[in-house]
């Protein structure tokens, strides 16, 4: 059989994904139907159109399927119960994602991939299980934003193929897009009304819609466009009143209010009291640690407390000990050097520092000390007034992190550094601080799109990895703003849904690490993870991971 060019290319994409024509279609992974947002913009626009279409489908062996922007089926209408059962047999049910990686060539997955309408007849389907169907699908685009909202598909049995299916479906798509436009206009009007009612308050008022930004004069002075991604993220994960640090370093209290369904969010921002802002300015000058962590370290320094700093590699353990030392001299020794120097020589050097060094002595990677060295170090803490600090990795960072009990008993305070992935709201400010250190004479500006891309990365190397990425891109761009396009080659893995549960976050991190380790090869990543390719593809879609 000679395939049309677009069909042949689709087949090739399916093959590269590891799919075979004989792959079953009745066991495609699906989301819980209760996870579908029945109040979404797409469904609110499409439901009346689908109801009208269903009246035309009555007594026919045709069905209409609606998929969302993730190509997940969210609604369907059918005219014949037998066709309903046939669709159930191939997983064409609400909650199931029909992508080319999992279902091959069909009129949901392929229009989603091509971003244009296409018919797929019988033998043109990649999966054998779908070859008894004929279908036509067309993407649905929001006229107000130009973004893909979903795909509409009309499906029947091969013997019921009809050239009028395409224009029939196109009219339904046009009706849905018109309703999306009306809905967008109404949402913008509601957002504008809410903003106008609040704009004259003395505090900074900001309204963020899908493609609308409204700000009073106080908000223009206080909030940088780079802060918008942080505020959107904050509103997705939390409600009510929260504290956050803007990219300028200013600590603010943020009051958030949703403006009806899908219209947007209204933010009211107030800088915190001057004493707190003074501490913030000190940190913003060069600090990369969370404010509460830095404050604990400063208080520990004032009392010369012994501190154990725990964190993943690259999370800022060195910066934490530098903050702890303050203006006093700092010297570091590595627990891993015991193997090269021998326990006697290593302990002698440490004892010499304890006797003569006037400032802070830091033992890095203390979990690597053998038992005898740990015991001698603990005894040294009892016998000298020297000021010590220790650093160690976390239990899941591959560095052991089993700190000897004798040392733990002599530490006054433990400070745990969060990984960068847990500080996504801080990334814009951190990126600016790091860039200012890299290029102090002419610090480039990061666009909002660049900051969104940075905030979406998994950052397994934490702050050190972020600094490496920014150093590389700063070398390549001598003038002008740093955009998402500049960062894209260095930030290949992104997610559009960072609001994950603890279990989903663990899945997300495991998958992105595996993909990074094999250069994005999904077949090899699935093998490394010990799961099937179809399971991997389903989890990638569910977690909104793209490579």
Which range has the top average pLDDT, 12-21, 206-215, 494-503?
A: 12-21
Residue 283 has what pLDDT? Answer: 41
Neighbours of 224 (CB within 10 A): 17
When mean pLDDT is compared across 20-24, 294-298, 315-319, 534-538, the lowest value belongs to 534-538
Which residues 6+ apart lie within 8 Å of 268 measured at CB? 198, 201, 203, 204, 205, 206, 254, 255, 257
Q: What is the pLDDT of residues 429-438, one digit of tens each?
A: 888 888 888 8
CA–CA distances in Å: residue 197 to residues 205, 305, 527: 10, 52, 56
Confidence grade of residue 506 (pLDDT, cut at 50, 70, 90): low
- The second-level CATH assignment, the architecture, of 199-278 is 2-Layer Sandwich (3.30)
Tell me the C-alpha distance between 142 and 294, whole Å. Answer: 46
What is the Cα–Cα distance from 538 to 31, expressed in whole angstroms? 9
Binned at pLDDT 50, 70 and 90, residue 192 comes out as confident
The model's pLDDT over 131-143, given as tens digits with 9 standing for 90+, comes to 999 999 999 998 8
Instruction: Name the fold adopted by 422-546.
Output: Helicase, Ruva Protein; domain 3 (1.10.8)
Q: Which of 76-80, 103-107, 129-133, 181-185 has the lowest mean pLDDT?
A: 181-185
Please give the structure tokens belonging to residue 323: 């903050």
Q: What is the pLDDT of residue 500?
A: 57
Residue range 5-184 forms a domain whose CATH class is alpha beta
CATH topology identical between 199-278 and 422-546? no
How does pLDDT run across 259-287, given as a tens digit for each residue? 876 678 899 999 986 433 333 333 433 47
Higher pLDDT, 27 or 410: 410
- Own/partner pairs for 54-62, CB < 8 Å, 24+ apart? 54/78, 54/79, 56/168, 60/156, 60/160, 61/156, 61/157, 61/160, 62/154, 62/155, 62/156, 62/160, 62/165
**What pLDDT does 448 receive?**
75
CATH top class, domain 291-417? alpha beta
Query: What is the pairing mode between strands 307-310 and 387-392?
Result: parallel
Instruction: Find, among 377, 463, 387, the residue nearest to 418 by Cα.
Output: 463
Residue 461, token pair as written in the block? 């190397």
Q: Is the pLDDT of residue 238 over 60?
A: yes
| Domains in the chain: boundaries | 5-184, 199-278, 291-417, 422-546
């Amino acid at each position: 059989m000679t395939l049309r060019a677009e069909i042949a290319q689709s087949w090739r994409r399916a093959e590269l994904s590891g799919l075979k024509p004989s792959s079953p279609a009745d066991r495609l992974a699906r989301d819980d139907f209760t996870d579908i947002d029945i109040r979404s913009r797409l469904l609110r626009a499409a439901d009346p159109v689908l109801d009208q279409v269903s009246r035309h489908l009555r007594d026919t062996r045709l069905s209409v399927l609606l998929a969302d922007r993730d190509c997940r089926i969210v609604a369907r209408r059918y005219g014949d119960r037998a066709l309903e059962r046939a669709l159930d047999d191939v997983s064409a049910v609400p909650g199931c994602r029909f992508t080319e990686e999992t279902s091959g060539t069909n009129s949901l997955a392929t229009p989603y991939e091509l971003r244009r309408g296409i018919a797929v007849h019988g033998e043109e389907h990649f999966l054998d299980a779908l070859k008894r169907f004929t279908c036509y699908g067309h993407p649905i685009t929001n006229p107000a934003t130009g973004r893909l909202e979903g795909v509409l598909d009309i499906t029947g049995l091969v013997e019921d193929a009809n050239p009028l299916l395409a224009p029939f479906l196109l009219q339904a798509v046009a009706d849905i897009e018109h309703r999306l436009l009306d809905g967008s206009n109404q949402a913008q009007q509601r957002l504008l009304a809410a903003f106008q009612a609040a704009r004259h308050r003395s505090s900074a008022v900001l309204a963020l819609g899908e493609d609308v930004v409204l700000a009073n004069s106080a908000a223009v002075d206080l909030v940088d466009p780079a802060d918008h991604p942080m505020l959107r993220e904050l509103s997705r994960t939390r409600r009510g009143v929260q504290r956050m640090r803007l990219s300028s370093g200013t600590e603010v209290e943020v009051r958030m209010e949703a403006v009806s369904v899908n219209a947007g969010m209204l933010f009211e921002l107030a800088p915190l009291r001057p004493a707190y802002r003074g501490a913030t300015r000190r940190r913003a000058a060069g600090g990369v640690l969370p404010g509460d962590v830095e404050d604990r370290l400063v208080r520990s320094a004032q009392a010369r407390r012994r501190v154990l700093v725990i964190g993943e590699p690259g999370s800022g353990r060195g910066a934490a000990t530098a903050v702890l030392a303050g203006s006093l001299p700092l010297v570091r020794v590595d627990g891993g050097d015991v193997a090269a120097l021998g326990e006697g020589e290593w302990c002698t050097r440490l004892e010499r520092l304890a006797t003569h060094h006037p400032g802070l002595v830091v033992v890095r990677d203390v979990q690597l000390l053998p038992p005898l060295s740990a015991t001698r170090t603990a005894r040294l803490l009892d016998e000298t007034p020297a000021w010590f600090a220790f650093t160690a990795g976390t239990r899941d960072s591959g560095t052991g992190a089993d700190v000897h009990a004798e040392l733990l008993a002599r530490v006054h305070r433990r400070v745990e550094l969060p990984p960068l992935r847990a500080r996504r709201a801080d990334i814009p400010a951190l990126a600016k601080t790091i860039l200012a250190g890299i290029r102090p004479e002419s610090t480039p500006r990061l666009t909002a799109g660049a900051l969104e891309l940075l905030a979406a990365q998994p950052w397994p190397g934490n702050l050190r990895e972020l600094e490496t990425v920014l150093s590389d891109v700063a070398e390549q761009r001598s003038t002008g703003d740093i955009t998402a396009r500049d960062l894209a080659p260095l930030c290949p893995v992104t997610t559009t849904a960072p609001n994950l549960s603890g279990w989903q976050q663990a899945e997300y991190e495991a998958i992105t690490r595996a993909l990074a380790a094999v250069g994005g090869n999904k077949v090899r990543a699935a093998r490394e993870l010990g799961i099937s390719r179809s399971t991997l593809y389903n989890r990638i879609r569910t977690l909104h991971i793209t490579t």
